[in-house]
Structure 1
Amino acid sequence: MFGRILCGVAASALLLVALPATAQDFSAERLSDHIKYLADDSLEGRFPGKVGEKMTLDYLQAQYEAMGLEPGGPDGQWLQPVELLRLTPTRPPVVTWTGREGVAHTIETGMALRAGAGEGLVKLDNVPMVFAGYGVVAPERNWDDYGDIDLTGKLVVVLGGQPEAFGADPNFYGSGTHKTNEALKRGAVGIITLYPVTGGRGMRGGNRPRMTLVGAHETAFQGVMTMDIAAPMAVEQGGDMEALVAMAKQGGTFKAHDSGIKISLDIAETAEVIHSNNLLAKIPGSERPDEVLVYSAHWDHVGTAADPDANGDRIFNGAWDNASGTSGVLEMARAFKAGPPPERTVVFLHVTAEEQGLLGSEWYATHPVYPLEKTAADINIDMLPFTPATRSIALFGIGKSMLEDDLARLAAAAGRDGGVVGDGEPAQGFYYRSDHFNFAVGGVPALMPWTGVDFVEGGEEVGRPYYQAQMAQYYHKLDDEWRADYDFTAAIQNLTLLYRLGQEVANETAWPQWKPGSEFAALRKESDAARQ
């Protein structure tokens, strides 16, 4: 357990604990005070494993202790250790491919390969290459790119994104998580994703450090390749890339097949373990303590910039992202503690390394302190809205779980006649880019609110440019610092609704469900027996 650190913003800030609260008493002053501490320069951008981690976790623990909550981590501790792995290339990978005629071709550009979660050194010779279309298996959509093929010891090449038949907006089946999981199920040693052009998604950062988890569920190597580099390989198979892609888009008639091509590669990266932590607090359930509701937020941000700006500032303070969400979870715990004891256990989870790829929540989902099959829901708070009152409450991934319907009912009862709406940018695939996603992949119904733009005063005509201006000025910018003029009106609106939703989930015997068309419904169904 970390000891206390009393420096920087001072010991008094660590004990910013406040007077007794009543249920749903969400205080703008307390939210602001939490953000002010967590976004202070002394925390140096809250990067995992650095001084800001210790100060952040000490602060959170002090707050929960003063509220009277119990430690919620493993073995009655506050912290769940998380083993991060930073991999840094020492040289460009060496890659060659050989076709049926036995001629070796060296690939020097248009490809980026990275070692998986191991020691950083990967050397393989003549690995058979399988083309698997999109690499998607979606039973509820009658789509299976693999059939019964065995990928043991093979490399699988997949198209980026998802089939056109699944719609234009990103979904789980277009994610790297789904594609990697399906490849691993069949024994693949590596996965390469095809993209149309050099410089596109996935091609950037091939020579920079990347962070993953020790023992992560990854292939031995992964990477990206452009279509033009893959084109000669297609010709070797007696076709062309356009024909291969067109065949893959047919879905039901396409199945993964051995390309007849073999790949040799040599990847060298250094591997450094970074010790970090998630923090958990809990209120034990009075009737069904083995059943759990989780409120989550990531405590980390991105640290410091290599070079200062014109004002000499180089600290990414992360006030909005995500000191605000962290503060929201703290105050949610205060509201629950002031209210009647919940029948299910309520856990308040602060995860590390979201900014490095949702790693703290991935660690939790693969090393759950509370079984995911007995976890009723995850309500994730990543960036509170700093806006005036809104008519609607916005969510990422609208249309996925029945939790949305319950939230809509509560919003209507609270007079928010705009109801529950999407985030307005479905093409961005935001549902797959914050910590609730790892709960969803584990089958747990997961919900994440966002900033609404339908203002009570002025509607979307005022609200949308207001929100867009905030994003442009503050999101992942050095200017994302604590400000005395935050407008917490919409934040308190949302927190109140999320409290009421959590009260229902924590005190009912029914289990929240995914909607039948959700790509996560089948994952939850696998553990139905545990909830009978």
Structure 2
Amino acid sequence: MFRKMMGGVAVAAVLLAAGTASAQDVSAQRLSDGIRTISADAFQGRYPGTEGERMTLAWLQAQYEEMGLEPGGPNGQWTQAIELKRYTPVAGAASASWSGPDGVAHPLVPGTDIVIRAVSNDGRAAIAGAPVVFAGHGIYAPERNWDDYGDLDVRGKVVVIVSGEPDGDLFNGAYATNYQSGAYKADEAFRRGAVGVITLWTDGNSWERVAQGGNRQRTLTPGAADLEFAAILNHDAAMAMATAAGLGMDSFGDIASGEFKAREMTGVTLSVAAEETIDTLTTHNLLAKITGTERPNETIIYSAHWDHVGGAAQHPNAPADDQIWNGAWDNASGTVGVVEVARQFAAAPKPERTVVFAHMAAEEMGLLGSYGYAADPVYPLETTVADINIDMLPLSAPTRDLAIFGKGQNDLEDRLEVLAQAEGRYVTDDREPEQGYYYRSDHFPFARAGVPALMPWHGVDLDGGGVAVGQPAYTAKFTADYHKSSDEWSAELDFSSAVENLNLLVQLGSQLANGEDWPMWKPTSEFAVVRARSDAARQ
């Protein structure tokens, strides 16, 4: 919708609105100094729950206090506690069996036929004689005219699905959608009243790896669907159940055609039991804010994760000469970038809407601080205007391109494109569809909850040398340093592109913070239907 109004008058209006905080004072030196501080060995790789966390949060709080910002957490505090529940299967506690129309029970051997995890928050699963349905990919995508469930009622039943999503342009071609994720499928099944989800495993060569994974400790994602259990079932066991129900492979049709609808496995029931011990790790998000002068209940969030992956305590095989994963690029750079954005807002006239600067915990453990925020938001998600997330600032000479994750998702990219064009730049995708980057950083829990979210990335079209020089340079740095102990501060780091991007992100946030409209998901986005459920809150 926004793209249609990008005439000359509209462009001028956007640029004027964005001028409130121009970000011309973004400082490469401050970026370098901040990154050097919080990625030092003394911060121990910023692992959640360690002294490194305490030091990082103390540094952040001191920055915001010096700027004169307000605490942005619950009850006027700087931090939001995030409790991470970690589950470990009790040896020998898992069991499963199925019965067909003849009532004969057929045991499923854990680790051989099935891998079972208790999903419910109490760490226990106890299902007796639940009906079973097959729901294809388990996807409901109204914007794509796709509904695997059809009219089938799955309340109190176990839903069997296949992994992934259909190939082809309908599901974004080379760029995957959220519909391929197990978390989405669990959410959809739970929303429809299912008690458990079973994913069929058809790659027999890797079943042993799957079975081993079923015994490992896992951390529950805050806000995850509260199903009784989740399981992976091998193909042979699944076919035995289908045969008992009188269903051959041809009974299901082509589940990738869009014509398939969920089928009851008539007469087949499943019983499952599982038990897991629980321990809790408490970590913290840190939030600062500038309260809006006109519409304080409408919120723009800048986010970045402060954590990294720790040191020798978390990596027993760490090399003797470098035992700390300092995380200078990932994500001391984004952390300090958000602080620098806040500095620009603090120096400008107060915005009309509230602007929050959120430093998320435990991203490296699975976006868990951001998921925790989305599950228990300090500011209502319905009236959160946008999330602008910074994960790994570009560290290069100036670029013509500004890459983003999830190009084509929402009109934040169109607004950013206008600002970039005014500086002779352009917005592009991340060039790596196989990575699924839009679903891998802290903006995603916001998007999943319906909040329009933007995640800028590293450009490669260098002002001097273009893509031919920039792409191999970026690839070499990423390969050398990403999630390696070599990701350290250096006086040689080039913040030119980072300053360029932060200039634009401040302008974008200023436009939103001093405007009255709401960014929109594009009609083909899987998140548009989620946002639409709360339209009344933004009238």
Amino acid in the other structure paired with 1:174: Q
How do residues 116-265 of structure 1 correspond to structure 2 at under 5 angstroms?
A: 116-164=119-167, 165-168=170-173, 169-198=175-204, 199=206, 205-213=213-221, 216-241=224-249, 243=250, 246-258=253-265, 260-265=267-272
Alpha-carbon distance between aligned partners in 2 of 1:82 and 1:325, rounded to the nearest angstrom? 20
- How far the C-alpha of 1:452 sits from its partner, in A, is 1.3
Residues 149, 438 of structure 1: CA spacing in aligned structure 2 closer, same or farther, 3 A cutoff? same
Partner of 2:457: 450
Q: Does 1:96 align with 2:97?
A: yes
> 2:150·2:261 contact (CA, 8 Å) conserved in 1?
no
Percent identity of equivalent pairs: 52
Alpha-carbon distance between aligned partners in 2 of 1:229 and 1:466, rounded to the nearest angstrom? 49
Deviations 1:187-221 (A, max 9, x none): 11211222431438976732221112566433122
> 2:222·2:371 contact (CA, 8 Å) conserved in 1?
no
Alpha-carbon distance between aligned partners in 2 of 1:273 and 1:519, rounded to the nearest angstrom? 33
Partner of 1:71: 71
Q: Does 1:57 align with 2:60?
A: no
> 2:99·2:269 contact (CA, 8 Å) conserved in 1?
yes
Partner of 1:320: 329
SS in 2 for 1:409: helix
Give the TM-score of the pair, scaled to structure 2.
0.89
Deviations 1:391-435 (A, max 9, x none): 11001010111111111111110121xx11100112322111111
Partner of 2:388: 379
Residues 475, 245 of structure 1: CA spacing in aligned structure 2 closer, same or farther, 3 A cutoff? farther
Partner of 2:374: 365
- How far the C-alpha of 1:70 sits from its partner, in A, is 0.5
| Residue 437 (structure 2) aligned to one of 430, 437, 445 | 430
> 1:22·1:338 contact (CA, 8 Å) conserved in 2?
no
Q: Does 1:482 align with 2:484?
A: no
Residues 218, 428 of structure 1: CA spacing in aligned structure 2 closer, same or farther, 3 A cutoff? farther
> 1:117·1:216 contact (CA, 8 Å) conserved in 2?
no
- How far the C-alpha of 1:240 sits from its partner, in A, is 4.3
Aligned residues: 509
Alpha-carbon distance between aligned partners in 2 of 1:117 and 1:59, rounded to the nearest angstrom? 37
> 1:23·1:339 contact (CA, 8 Å) conserved in 2?
no
Deviations 1:136-156 (A, max 9, x none): 111122111112333233221
Partner of 2:499: 492
Amino acid in the other structure paired with 2:407: I
> 1:292·1:345 contact (CA, 8 Å) conserved in 2?
yes
Alpha-carbon distance between aligned partners in 2 of 1:362 and 1:245, rounded to the nearest angstrom? 36
Q: Does 1:463 align with 2:470?
A: yes
> 2:222·2:372 contact (CA, 8 Å) conserved in 1?
no
SS in 1 for 2:150: coil
- How far the C-alpha of 1:334 sits from its partner, in A, is 0.5
> 2:130·2:157 contact (CA, 8 Å) conserved in 1?
yes
> 1:117·1:215 contact (CA, 8 Å) conserved in 2?
no
Amino acid in the other structure paired with 2:144: R
| Residue 311 (structure 1) aligned to one of 306, 312, 320 | 320
- Where in structure 2 are there 5+ consecutive unaligned residues? 1-20
Alpha-carbon distance between aligned partners in 1 of 2:331 and 2:489, rounded to the nearest angstrom? 11
Alpha-carbon distance between aligned partners in 1 of 2:502 and 2:196, rounded to the nearest angstrom? 43
> 2:134·2:264 contact (CA, 8 Å) conserved in 1?
yes
Amino acid in the other structure paired with 1:211: T
Alpha-carbon distance between aligned partners in 2 of 1:286 and 1:428, rounded to the nearest angstrom? 41
> 1:147·1:256 contact (CA, 8 Å) conserved in 2?
no
Residues 43, 202 of structure 1: CA spacing in aligned structure 2 closer, same or farther, 3 A cutoff? farther
Moved more, 342-351 or 169-178: 169-178
Give the TM-score of the pair, scaled to structure 1.
0.90
Partner of 1:45: 45
Deviations 1:491-520 (A, max 9, x none): 111111111111111111111111122111
| Residue 276 (structure 1) aligned to one of 283, 301, 305 | 283
Moved more, 168-177 or 78-87: 168-177
Alpha-carbon distance between aligned partners in 1 of 2:161 and 2:211, rounded to the nearest angstrom? 15
Alpha-carbon distance between aligned partners in 2 of 1:49 and 1:325, rounded to the nearest angstrom? 20
Residues 27, 143 of structure 1: CA spacing in aligned structure 2 closer, same or farther, 3 A cutoff? same
Name the Cα RMSD after superposition: 2.2
> 1:307·1:314 contact (CA, 8 Å) conserved in 2?
no
Alpha-carbon distance between aligned partners in 2 of 1:412 and 1:110, rounded to the nearest angstrom? 57
- How far the C-alpha of 1:270 sits from its partner, in A, is 1.4
Residues 253, 229 of structure 1: CA spacing in aligned structure 2 closer, same or farther, 3 A cutoff? closer
Alpha-carbon distance between aligned partners in 1 of 2:514 and 2:289, rounded to the nearest angstrom? 15
Residues 269, 245 of structure 1: CA spacing in aligned structure 2 closer, same or farther, 3 A cutoff? same
Moved more, 95-104 or 65-74: 95-104
Alpha-carbon distance between aligned partners in 2 of 1:259 and 1:351, rounded to the nearest angstrom? 47
